[in-house]
Structure formats: C-alpha cells, structure tokens
Amino acid sequence: KVTRSDEQPTEGVWYQDAKGRYYTYPDDWTDSFYGVRDALSNLLTYGSNGNQVTAKDQAAAKASYAALQQEIMADYADMKAAVAAADTLEAKQAAATNASNAMSQKVYNTTLKMYNKLQAKTAARAWVSSLLH
C-alpha cells in the first residue's frame, strides 16, 4: 500500500504530487505490474513538476509503449494461430495461457526497465541541478 505524508521521505521510492503531498511506495512495489505501472505513471506525471522529467522523456515513454503495443499485437496473432492449431481443449488453453503470461511479463519487464531508466535520468538531473543552485 502506498503511504501518504506531508513531509518529504528520507528513504524508499516516493513522489510528490501537484499539491505538495508525498507518496511512498511499499518495499515490494516492483512485485506487481500495478506497482511498476503506477510508479512510471507518477514519475512521468509529477516528475515534470520539478523539471526532472522533460517533454522528450514523456515522448520517449509514449513511443516505447507504442512499439510495445505493436509487439504485443504480433504476439497475440501468434497466440491465436497456436490456439487454432492445437488439437485438444487442454492444448488450446495451455497455448493461450502461456502466451498471455509471456505477453504480461513482456509488458511488466518493459515498464520496469522504462521506470529504472527514467529514474536514473531524473536522479542525475536533480544532482546536476543541486550543484548549480
């Protein structure tokens, strides 16, 4: 569960919303797609408040998801073909389940990678900014 605070956290993964409130993710936030997607979404949304996330970063995330969507659509077409080619109901179910799990894992991995990359960029920008101010 994400916790809310009016004071800036000193540890963990957190973000500050437009109203100045702080939200800290639980230690296991990377264990779920929801946690990873939420963290990326909030970094893209609220990271721009401090000018740490640029319009270029947001466009890159959008382009990455557009490319991922095309991959998933191709994987889905492959899954449909595998299900159609399967001989038994059990084989059809297994083909659909395995492909669905693989697609979900691909989205999760891509989202986590995008978050980690963007987080590293924003941390570097914040560090440089702190040196200049």
* pLDDT tens-place string over residues 3-60: 999 998 888 888 888 888 999 999 999 999 999 999 999 889 887 656 678 889 999 9
Residue 38: partners with Cβ closer than 8 Å, 6 or more residues away = 2, 25, 29
pLDDT score at 112? 96
How many angstroms separate the CA atoms of 54 and 43, rounded? 11
Q: Count of domains in the chain?
A: 1
Could you tell me the pTM of the whole model?
0.84
CA 78, chain centre distance (Å): 25
Range of the domain at 70: 3-132
